Amino acid sequence: GGMNGSIIYEADRPENAGLSKSLKILRKAKEGIDQVQQVSWADLIAVAGAEAVALCGGPEISIRLGRLDSSTADPTGKLPEETLDVVALKTSFGKKGFSTQEMVVLSGAHTIGGKGFGNPNAFDNAYFKVLLEKPRPTSSGMPIGLPTDWALTEDDECLRWIDIYAEDEDKFFADFRDAYTKLVNSGASWRTA
């Protein structure tokens, strides 16, 4: 379906656990922005994601505006489950028009937040460096990351990209910028002038 703001109707779904706080913050921001200029949830979420990356030291990402919002929740099962193996992940992303390289680079967004991949407030290539560690690292005895993060390390094509991004943060940033732009534009419905 694409970036359509339907997440505001889907916060209670298991795959969206933990997004309620972020949506509360965005709701408050949207109220203020709407007093000056109406903004769709879809545009606000796309811009917020890009700004979060930039504020954490990642690349600046220009966002095209004009997405239309959905008035209902999207069907369940559109996000890949965190328990998928690498074959199922590649199939899931492929059906949405994303290559293996794009899947790997978008997974690099897990470098920020509380998944254990380095500084949770820094957008960098630590995610890829941690994925290359053997044995798998833990934090306070807890596994780092999601099962899908580690599934990437079981595939030669994914590992090739993990190696590249672990070695070259500038390449990670450039490829992430392109893949994020594709992600937030794919399947979106747009306002006409």
Mean pLDDT by 10 residues, the chain (193 residues): 88 87 95 97 97 98 96 90 94 96 97 89 97 83 88 97 98 98 95 84
d(CA 187, CA 84): 23
At 70-84, the pLDDT tens digits run 999 999 988 888 899
pLDDT at 97: 95
Name the strand (E) or helix (H) holding 94: helix 86-95
Contact 114, 146 (CB under 8 A): no
pLDDT at 106: 98
* Separation in Å, CA 177 to CA 70, 79, 102, 143, 189: 25, 20, 10, 28, 21
Structural domains in the chain? 6-76 (1.10.520.10), 86-183 (1.10.420.10)
* Separation in Å, CA 119 to CA 116, 127, 178: 8, 10, 24
Side-chain-side CA neighbours of 16 within 13 Å: the count stands at 18
Instruction: Give the count of beta carbons closer than 10 Å to the beta carbon of residue 155.
Output: 18
pLDDT at 139: 76
d(CA 177, CA 193): 26
pLDDT at 1: 61
Tokens 């890009």 found at: 50
